[in-house]
Structures are given as C-alpha cells and as structure tokens.
Amino acid sequence: MFLVISDGGAAAHALSNALDSCGAEYVYQFETLAGAGEFGHGSVIVGKITYRGLKRVINKNNVTAVIDTISVPQSETSLVVQAAADDLKIPVIKIIAPTVRFDALRSADVKADFSVNYSYKDIAAKINNTVGNAVFFAKPYNVRAIADLVFDQKELFVPIKSGASFDVDLALEFGIPILNVREFESFSGVSGIKRVLEEFDAKLMITDSEIDIYDKLSAAEMTGAEVVFTQNTGIEYELIFDNLDSFCEFLRSSELLNSGEPQDENAVSEENGGEEEPENQNNI
C-alpha cells in the first residue's frame, strides 16, 4: 500500500493513472479540500498532515512507502513526511517536475559537458573530487544543502545582484564563506554568465533551474566548465523521479508492489492520531 501526499492538480491524476497501470494499491492524502478537488480516485484523506497523525495513517493502512508529490520547495509537509517515514523505516519516493526540458532541435547543438543529478550528496562528492572552484546559480537553500556536505567551502562561490549595499542576510543564507558571495551588476546572458565563470575560475557550475539554460551551457562551453543541473526542493532524497515512466519502471522492478498486507480498498485512517481532528478532514 502506497500513501501519496499531494497538493492536487493534474499531477495528482497523472500519478494515480500511473499507479493504476502498475496494479498498485494506494491512498491519497491532501491537506485541503481545494487540493483534493474532484480527485475521484480510490481512497482519499483530507486533513492537515502532522508527524503523529501521519504515523497513524501509515500504521493503520499498512503503508509500505510514501510518495511525496508536494511541489513547494523546502516544504514543511515534506519534512514531516520524511521524519515520520524515517521513524517507521519505510521509504519516501519523491516525484518532481523535470529541472531540464530540452528542446529536441536545440539540444542537438549543445556541446557543453552537462549532467542532471538530483542527489545533493552526489553533487557534493563531485565537488570534493574536482580540482577547482564550483559556482552556484541556485536558491540559497539548495546551495546550503550541498555546501554542508563539501569539505572545502572556500572553493564554493555564488553571484548575487549588486544593490545599494551588500545584502549580508542573503549572503549568509547560502552557507558558504561570506567573502565567496560576490556582487555582479548582471549575470544574465552568455556574456554575463561567462564573466562570472571566469571571475571565479570555475570548473563546475551547479544550477537548480533551466532559466537561461542555453546561455549557461554556451558560457560553460566557452570556459570549459562542467554544468550540473539539480533539483529545487532543498531536501535530499534517495528515491527521486522527474517522470512517471522511470517511476513505474522502478516500481515494477522493486519489491514495494508486493509488500505489505492486502488492504480494503476503502481503508483510511484518522489523520491526527488522538489529537483534535481538523474540521476539514474528510474521506472523499
């Protein structure tokens, strides 16, 4: 039995269809009725997701894995899901939107050395094994998640937009030496990104979005820097997928589909486990 934590929308329906195609048993949990919408698939729980309540849902429904599809970066709900699942020693599978969506025609012309890696641990290991500096074009929480795992943070650099005065608070959010957070009037376009890479003598560029993707790749090609695209959750996941085809392939080859006791198709659980139930908790 899978427990799917969702914030609704078309992605919820797409994942449900994928799980059906795998023959998986599952129950969805939404925090709001608006998120649940007219979902209309199988069993649904609506109610605020708390650590204690989530553990009761998992235990009562013999959940063997939690699928987290929350799209908000650094989500408190996702942190609760990880904590509860870790405590119960069951895996969390994260489903995200792809960081990179290459246009087929233009991607054929890309000559830069690039990869997609959603593991902050792997990226930190790559930095640790690279002779030279790494530059981040990424959100502060993603930089910090990687920087915390890097041996020599003096080799990590971040460009920020120059202002009337240096934004110390922002600089500290990155979790790297403050002197390595440098101001630039602009770092957009090929020339702006190239200037940053040259200024820092960068061997690696780490980015968490496809904004200016071809400019980044072009600048990297000119300077010889390697580009690594990563995810934007700010949270490390051992199991993370950016498309449902690879997710289903993983499920079919894993033991998760056949683990756990058979469930009544309408089996759901109280959400708050002895706490006062939220008014908006419903089984749809």
Q: Compute the Cα dihedral for 46, 52, 54, 57 and give only its sign.
A: negative
pLDDT tens digit sequence for 83-95: 999 999 999 999 9
pLDDT of residue 105: 55
- The pair of structure tokens assigned to 67 is 């699928």
**pLDDT computed for residue 175 by the predictor:** 96
Which residue in 95, 149, 87, 153 sits closest to 122, CA to CA?
Answer: 149
Q: Which two tokens stand for residue 90?
A: 């069951």
- 10 Å CB burial of residue 248 (0-12, 13-18, 19+) is middle
Same CATH fold assignment for domains 2-96+235-283 and 104-229: yes
Q: Tell me the pLDDT tens digit for each residue of 220-269.
A: 999 999 999 999 999 999 999 999 999 999 999 998 987 654 444 344 44
Q: How far apart are CA 16 and CA 20, in angstroms?
A: 6
**Nearest Cα to Cα of residue 259 among 271, 269, 251, 248:** 251
DSSP 126-179: HHHTSSSEEEEES-HHHHHHHHTT-S-GGGEEEEEE--SS--HHHHHHT-S-GG
Task: Give 104's pLDDT tier (boundaries 50, 70, 90).
Answer: low
**Distances from the Cα of 161 to the Cαs of 19, 21, 69, 134, in angstroms?**
44, 47, 32, 18
Q: Which amino acid is at 273?
A: G
Mean of all residue pLDDT scores within the chain: 88
Mean pLDDT of 50-75: 95
More confident position, 162 or 275: 162
Domains of the chain: which residue ranges?
Answer: 2-96+235-283, 104-229
Q: What is the pTM of this model?
A: 0.86
Pairwise CA distance, residues 33 & 284, whole Å: 9
Q: Where are the alpha helices (DSSP H) in the chain?
A: 10-21, 33-36, 51-60, 76-88, 104-107, 120-128, 140-147, 168-173, 189-199, 213-223, 244-253
Least confident of 27-41, 86-100, 109-123, 239-253: 27-41
Supply 219's token pair.
Answer: 């600048």
Considering only the top CATH level, what class is 104-229? alpha beta
Q: What is the CATH number of domain 2-96+235-283?
A: 3.40.50
pLDDT at 163: 82
Regarding beta strands 43-46 and 282-283, do their DSSP bridges make them parallel or antiparallel, or are they unpaired? antiparallel
Task: Read off the pLDDT of residues 150-173 as tens digits, 9 standing for 90 and up.
Answer: 999 999 999 999 886 888 999 999
